[in-house]
Structure 1
Amino acid sequence: MRTAIVTATLLLVSGCGATVAQDASKADPVTVTNCGQQVTFDKVPSKVVTNDTGITELMFALGLKDRMAGYVVDGDNTVDLQTSPWKADFDSAKKLADKISKEVVQGANADLVFAGWSYGFSESSGFTPDALKQLGIGTYQLTEACRNGAGKQRGIMPALDALYTDLRNLGKIFRVEARAEALIKGYQQQIDNAAKVMAGKPRPKVFLYDSGQDQPFTSGRNAAPQDVIGKAGGDNIFGDLDDSWTTVNWETVVQRDPEVVLIVDYADGEANTPAQKQAFLEGFAPLRNSPAIKNKRFYALPYAALVESPRNPASIEAFAKYLASA
């Protein structure tokens, strides 16, 4: 078995640099269901502030850059922007800040903030949909990060369903329904093609390793890696957890005996590079007998490919090809 630390450049040709004309005749209010609540938009938002790479790429994929006041992305997350199929859009759109805040969105005169819980929204920072409502600023919440009623756990539907839900909702809000449906159709075909790569082959047990040495941070069944792994032909070892991104313990990782490790590539510091993460796992004594470690089966994808984003289908395709060849 060979070691494969790969940061894939995921090209989605159909989404790159798209520009979609708005139909000004469709001026009636529209209502969508967002995180279980009916939300009405009286007009097409024209000064949207997005937070995080994947969320911003949803707007770019729909050709909505001209509806944005700007975006907020962590300045250290260079791999996301370098590998983005919408790099030209990131370069030409306005970056507002590294961290989102009330001051940032007010300074941009935002009429809509597109973010999610732990993707910008947080009680601890005071940046919440309720707080923005008091300022007269509308919000749209990332469906992957919707809270499901069990404390602060997140996720109310399978990851790809969340992606399609947001594309359809955004299509309706911005009057680009045809564009949204065309994207979804293309993504579904891409995923169907990826399924053929591993058809009839054993499904390896996959451990999604985001970060953490004392306790690992990983993905439950409600975050994008669940479908990236599952649709590629593997099984997420924490697919039984009714949560999205969450902390577990090493004892459980060892017990579940992963055969492949999928690493999140942030490239935001030496300790967080895929090579550093692989070195830690290879030197972590409790895992030394797991098949993933013994056979050096590691694969890495950029952060934006492993959160809800239009990169998910290409991530599935890339990971399926790795599983089939490793």
Structure 2
Amino acid sequence: MRPRPRHRVRRPNTRSNARQGAVYGLAAAVALLATGCGSGGGTNTAAGTGPGATITAASGFPVTVADCAGKETTVAKAPTRIVTSNASSLEMLLRLGAGDRVIGTGFPPGKGALPAELAEQGAKVPVLGDKAIPKEKLLGSGADLYIDTFGAMPMMGGGATGPSEQEYAAAGIQHVYLLSTACAGTPKAAKAPRTDLSGVEEDIRRLGAVTGTAARAEELVTGMEKRVGEVRTALAAVPEAQWPTYFLFDFDAGTKQPVAVCGRQVANAVVTLAGGRNVYADCDADFKPGTWEDVVAKNPDWIQLAVRNRGSEDANRKAFDDAEAFLRGFPATQGLKAVQQGHFIRLGSEATTIAGVRNADAVQQIAQALHPDLVKPAGTPAAPATTSGQ
């Protein structure tokens, strides 16, 4: 029997619905639970059928994974032809060193959306669908593994549904899911707000197990834990009641009606770990439509100008400028405490609301803005968050 990893895997909060596209641009997914003991020809199996099972083997095949309903899939060997449903799982695979096995993706990353070190390889991945991959194209792709970050829900665009499990099997495609942003609609979904990145870390480990890149997965998770741990240590003496309140303004979702980024979204964990109090943490969802009247009533101390990457530094700067100008000029928001004090954090949506390694970088970047006397810049791979108007 292989030894257990030294880390302790915590039970994650995994309630989050997928609303990727023109409105929220997020990747959501269903549970992928790769776990178990194995030696020689033994099978790595799930320690449980629901979210939060503990990984007890670092690598090796076969690997058994399960979705939120407990349905298991056994991956007999490392896949060689992988299709991803969107940029979130694609980025994870690129970081794991399995990018050369990805033969297609849906919801491709926009120009500049991937970190510089991954951009060239990511750009070479064929796009099978600008939004969700059409059913026929997915089944005919020649894939042996499909990483699904949407889960059991109607495919985006046109209202068509994805392939059935029987159709995946007939096409020779094994269908597995992510965990951290996917179990929202299931009875086993966590009921409490998400306050840590354990679900994201487990997803990285599980993808490592399924693709035979477990060692690299552990390196990525260790790096995340180190960065988050530095922030926790720095803020240990600050009572939560003294943390500033925080509103994530999803500028690209529209300004007529703000979107509430709620407690079950991964961004709530990012903000909480950074020493902020999400003003919508008590919202029992991942997102919900909000009102400017409600934002005014909450009167946040800080506002994140969350815009999606436009593909260049100049274009991103303009998008941040436009988001700030709206808040300063809109009658309902121009009197907010954060607006009056210029407490804006310029940090893109991708690192905050999409599950991945960059979540840990975002924790550091936000903490540096909220607690500058305690948290110092640490040279993380992603560009630092910036503040404006102070």
**How high is the TM-score relative to the length of structure 1?**
0.79
Once the two structures are TM-superposed, the CA of residue 298 in structure 1 deviates from its matched residue by: 1.3
User: Aligned AA for 2:207?
Assistant: L
Once the two structures are TM-superposed, the CA of residue 121 in structure 1 deviates from its matched residue by: 5.8
Partner of 2:358: 311
Once the two structures are TM-superposed, the CA of residue 45 in structure 1 deviates from its matched residue by: 2.4
Cα 1:119–1:130 shift into 2, 3 Å: closer
Bigger share in helix: 1
Residue pair 2:65, 2:176 contacting (<8 A) in 1 also: no
Partner of 2:292: 250
Which runs of structure 2 are paired with 1:206-225 in the superposition (5 Å)?
206-210=246-250, 211-225=253-267
Partner of 1:296: 342
SS where residue 144 of structure 1 aligns? coil
Residue pair 1:232, 1:317 contacting (<8 A) in 2 also: yes
Partner of 1:91: 123
Residue pair 2:193, 2:263 contacting (<8 A) in 1 also: no
Partner of 2:232: 195
Cα 1:238–1:301 shift into 2, 3 Å: same
Once the two structures are TM-superposed, the CA of residue 240 in structure 1 deviates from its matched residue by: 0.9
Cα distance between partner residues in 1 of 2:278 and 2:197: 15
Once the two structures are TM-superposed, the CA of residue 268 in structure 1 deviates from its matched residue by: 5.0
Cα distance between partner residues in 1 of 2:213 and 2:148: 20
Bigger share in strand: 1
Residue pair 1:31, 1:41 contacting (<8 A) in 2 also: yes
Q: Percent identity?
A: 25
Cα 1:87–1:206 shift into 2, 3 Å: same
Cα distance between partner residues in 1 of 2:282 and 2:232: 22
Residue pair 2:245, 2:300 contacting (<8 A) in 1 also: yes
TM-align CA RMSD: 3.3
Once the two structures are TM-superposed, the CA of residue 258 in structure 1 deviates from its matched residue by: 0.8
Partner of 1:12: none
Structure with larger RCO (C-alpha < 8 A, sep 6+): 1
Correspondence 1:178 to 2:224: no
Cα 1:155–1:217 shift into 2, 3 Å: farther
Cα distance between partner residues in 2 of 1:126 and 1:165: 31
Partner of 1:141: 177
Cα 1:322–1:157 shift into 2, 3 Å: closer
Residue pair 2:60, 2:209 contacting (<8 A) in 1 also: no
Which runs of structure 2 are paired with 1:1-326 in the superposition (5 Å)?
28-43=61-76, 44-74=78-108, 77-81=110-114, 83-101=115-133, 102-117=135-150, 122=155, 125-128=159-162, 130=164, 133=168, 136=171, 137-149=173-185, 158=194, 160-201=197-238, 202-210=242-250, 211-267=253-309, 273-306=319-352, 307-325=354-372
Cα distance between partner residues in 2 of 1:163 and 1:113: 19
Residue pair 1:144, 1:156 contacting (<8 A) in 2 also: no
Unaligned residue ranges in structure 1 (runs of 5+)? 1-23
Unaligned residue ranges in structure 2 (runs of 5+)? 1-39, 42-58, 373-386
User: Aligned AA for 2:362?
Assistant: S
Cα 1:205–1:190 shift into 2, 3 Å: same
- CA deviations over 1:179-231 (Å, ceiling 9, x no partner): 22222122111101123444545411110111322221232112221111111
SS where residue 306 of structure 2 aligns? strand
Cα 1:32–1:321 shift into 2, 3 Å: same
Residue pair 1:53, 1:73 contacting (<8 A) in 2 also: yes
Cα distance between partner residues in 2 of 1:258 and 1:40: 45
Once the two structures are TM-superposed, the CA of residue 33 in structure 1 deviates from its matched residue by: 3.1
Cα distance between partner residues in 1 of 2:326 and 2:170: 46
Once the two structures are TM-superposed, the CA of residue 267 in structure 1 deviates from its matched residue by: 4.2
Once the two structures are TM-superposed, the CA of residue 249 in structure 1 deviates from its matched residue by: 2.0
SS where residue 108 of structure 1 aligns? coil
Cα 1:254–1:88 shift into 2, 3 Å: same
Residue pair 1:30, 1:173 contacting (<8 A) in 2 also: yes
The aligned length equals 300
Cα distance between partner residues in 2 of 1:118 and 1:295: 42
- CA deviations over 1:1-53 (Å, ceiling 9, x no partner): xxxxxxxxxxxxxxxxxxxxxxx988743212333424222333221111332
User: Aligned AA for 2:247?
Assistant: F
**How high is the TM-score relative to the length of structure 2?**
0.67
Once the two structures are TM-superposed, the CA of residue 173 in structure 1 deviates from its matched residue by: 1.4
Cα distance between partner residues in 2 of 1:119 and 1:298: 37
SS where residue 323 of structure 2 aligns? helix
Cα 1:31–1:214 shift into 2, 3 Å: same
